[in-house]
Structure 1
Amino acid sequence: MSDAEALDAYSRVVSTVAATVSPHVASVSLGRGGGSAVVFDSEHHKVHLLTNAHVVGEQRAGRATFTDGTEAGFRVVGTDPLSDLAVLAVEGGHGELPPSATLGNADELIVGQLVVAIGSPLGFSGSVTAGVVSALGRALPVTQGRAARVIEDVIQTDAALNPGNSGGALADSAGRVVGINTAVAGFGLGLAVPVNPTTRRIIDTLLVEGRVRRAYLGVVGVPGPLPDDVAERTGQPAGLRVVEVVSGGPAARAGLRRGDLVLTVGRKRVADAQGIQRQLFAEVIGTPLAVTVLRNGAMVDVFATPTELAG
């Protein structure tokens, strides 16, 4: 394939994705601020949009403008600052609104894969930029209440993002929305919250309850390899090395220690912080969770009872 043919093929993919996804992306205005949002649910005469929690802020209502010029008011159904996601609802009676975009699974992305960002940077609705997945598993610092935390497993891309892109779609070459653009980290660097089973669970909870209750263990860790003999015996190559145990927290009360290598939580394998966070939702608050760690070459089981994460 010649360079010209390759460029034509690339252009066709980007233009096809843009044509597929753009109608589902709106420019949103709330008070003095704004950003973008993506239609992800259009059942029962109601349209729901997904955007960033930081785009919404403390506002409870606003207006959405779609690429065809259609405008509609919306209310904020719920926000989750810890994942930087928010759900908006447009009631019926606003004319023809677009159907849902197709959601993909960011867990299937690979570094170097083509992605297309669509949003309303600087107020220019329906703007399209393209690039690749630059890295996966990044962490994005956020603030929840008075506490600083991080959003895990953020997608890094070199697709150009500017103010106003936040809340817009990051789509793969098949036109599936795999991320919600969330921040401009620096020149030539953008980040997006992944759309995957964990964030879908968050979205479903926001739809029903308007907020996400999370459990808290009080442990900070980094991925760490298991010794060869343990990896061979368990079939698990890595765990989570504990680097900090919060004094007085559930993990400390359970006897977890700095240097422990966590293998399982709730009898489910753990290899990174996301592996624990996937389990720390409302249903485990106050429920003892079995935690298996490797300590000084020996397997140790403890039971930690998560408390509710304060806002």
Structure 2
Amino acid sequence: MKKFVLIAFFFLIFSSVLINYQGYQIKIPDIIPASTGHLATTIPKNYNDLLSLQKAFIRNARQLRPSVISINNLKELKRSPHSNLKPGENFLNRFKDFLDKTFRKHYQMESLGSGILLTNNGYILTNYHVVEETDKILVKLSDGEEYNAKIIGLDPKTDLAVLKIFSLTGFDPAPLGRSDDLKVGEWVMAIGNPYGLEGTVTVGVVSGIHRSDLGITTFENFIQTDASINPGNSGGPLINLDGQVVGINTAVAEIGAGVGFAIPIQMAVKIAEEIIEKGEVSRGWLGVGIQELTPELAESFQVAIDKGGVVVNSVETGAPADQGGLKRGDIIVSYAGEQVSDLKELQRMVAESNIGEEIPVQILRNGQAQQKKITIGKMIS
């Protein structure tokens, strides 16, 4: 009996060992780098495309960083030069304190926003609202260098400003792209200093183009993006996947996250060049008051609203429109050969016209089509 029990005991131990040996063990699969090409059947076909996209983000963030600057306001702290002599304090220390408070200025630094280096000799492009209420502007580069900046010119109607810093060595200007070629759905990156966090990068797509009637500026033609734009991003670049600046980040909609706006770079550069060359922005001017053609107005004027147009509600005496024959109640349907669909579009067309240029303007007066020729005047920003 004992021999039988002993044999059974050894049989159980041998069976347990055999079972474990035959495969009841956890095997950790080998980790194979994706770059080797092994296990290709388990990797999505577009994985290499995603890696290329990631590399583009990293490359652009690194290459654009030296061209993106932080704009700060130095606010002078007012201190009273008078101080009472404390017990044990000698007259000499009191006199030194008096000189310090009287002749040495003290400043508090406040982060305002961002900007881009436009040229290698120190011209900077940013937003008007960033530098609108500043005492003294201090610009900080990505390498930590700081420069006092001078305002060269402002254009509140497009929310743009040009600053200038000076150095004997020169600067790294940002590469510029063509905002006119942007398509909805393109990848873009926003770089700036939100909440004072320098060099912050966010990524998104172009959500819309030619956005207007937003109430942000007088002349609007915004790029809409879902790349996060926060306070401090204003004035910084919106860039495409080629690492080129295609917009100047300007505003975020109050309606919620994911709706930001940027000024197209081609529009911004045109304004900046005029500020640098002339110190001001001159725009075309008609001298009329206008309003949208509503269904009610279209019915009263007995015109079809589907053709578009803008109603003239006032004409300034002696203005180009007055000299060209426009009258109150006229409906402007075409300007320089282009159909006028709304008020903002006409404002933009007139503003972009050359001063002194004779422009054909088609109107409806008492239901009859007429064409006037108006010599464009000058409106100074």
Q: TM-score, normalised by structure 2?
A: 0.65
**Which has the greater radius of gyration?**
2
User: Is 18-27 or 291-300 further displaced after alignment?
Assistant: 291-300
Instruction: Note the C-alpha offset of 1:297.
Output: 8.5
Which residue of structure 1 aligns with residue 308 of structure 2?
A: 241
Q: Specify which of 33, 41, 65 is matched with residue 140 of structure 2.
A: 65
Structure 2 counterparts to residues 189-228 of structure 1, below 5 A: 189-196=259-266, 198-217=267-286, 218=288, 219=290
Q: Which runs of 5+ in 2 are unaligned?
A: 1-43, 75-109, 294-305
Instruction: Note the C-alpha offset of 1:240.
Output: 8.2
Which residue of structure 1 aligns with residue 89 of structure 2?
A: none
Q: Distance in 1 between matches of 2:126 and 2:258?
A: 22
Instruction: Note the C-alpha offset of 1:41.
Output: 0.8
Which residue of structure 1 aligns with residue 123 of structure 2?
A: 48
Which residue of structure 1 aligns with residue 13 of structure 2?
A: none
Which residue of structure 2 aligns with residue 171 of structure 1?
A: 239
Q: Specify which of 332, 338, 343 is matched with residue 269 of structure 1.
A: 338
Q: CA RMSD in A?
A: 2.9
Give SS of 1:166's match: coil
Residues 129/245 of structure 1: CA separation in 2 closer, same or farther (3 Å cut): same
Residues 61/213 of structure 1: CA separation in 2 closer, same or farther (3 Å cut): farther
Q: Which runs of 5+ in 1 are unaligned?
A: 143-148, 223-238
The one of the two structures with greater contact order (alpha-carbon pairs below 8 A, sep at least 6) is 1
Q: Specify which of 85, 90, 103 is matched with residue 176 of structure 2.
A: 103
Percent identical among aligned pairs is 33
Q: Specify which of 172, 185, 189 is matched with residue 112 of structure 1.
A: 185
Q: Specify which of 37, 41, 44 is matched with residue 115 of structure 2.
A: 37
Residue 126 of structure 1 pairs with residue 193 of structure 2:
no
Residue 88 of structure 1 pairs with residue 144 of structure 2:
no
CA contact under 8 A between 1:291 and 1:302: conserved in structure 2? yes
Structure that is richer in strand per residue: 1
Which residue of structure 1 aligns with residue 84 of structure 2?
A: none
Q: Specify which of 128, 144, 149 is matched with residue 74 of structure 1.
A: 149
Which residue of structure 2 aligns with residue 8 of structure 1?
A: 51
Residues 294/254 of structure 1: CA separation in 2 closer, same or farther (3 Å cut): closer
Give SS of 2:130's match: helix
CA contact under 8 A between 1:117 and 1:168: conserved in structure 2? yes
Q: Distance in 1 between matches of 2:347 and 2:51?
A: 44
Number of matched pairs? 279
Cα deviations across residues 97-152 of structure 1 (Å, max 9, x unaligned)?
Answer: 5321111111100000010100111101111001000000112424xxxxxx5332
CA contact under 8 A between 1:270 and 1:276: conserved in structure 2? no
Q: Distance in 2 between matches of 1:60 and 1:210?
A: 20
Q: Distance in 2 between matches of 1:294 and 1:258?
A: 6
Q: Distance in 2 between matches of 1:61 and 1:293?
A: 50
Instruction: Note the C-alpha offset of 1:88.
Output: 0.7
Give SS of 1:110's match: coil
Q: Specify which of 170, 174, 183 is matched with residue 251 of structure 2.
A: 183
Instruction: Note the C-alpha offset of 1:296.
Output: 8.5
Q: TM-score, normalised by structure 1?
A: 0.78
User: Is 269-278 or 76-85 further displaced after alignment?
Assistant: 269-278
Residues 122/213 of structure 1: CA separation in 2 closer, same or farther (3 Å cut): same
CA contact under 8 A between 1:153 and 1:274: conserved in structure 2? no
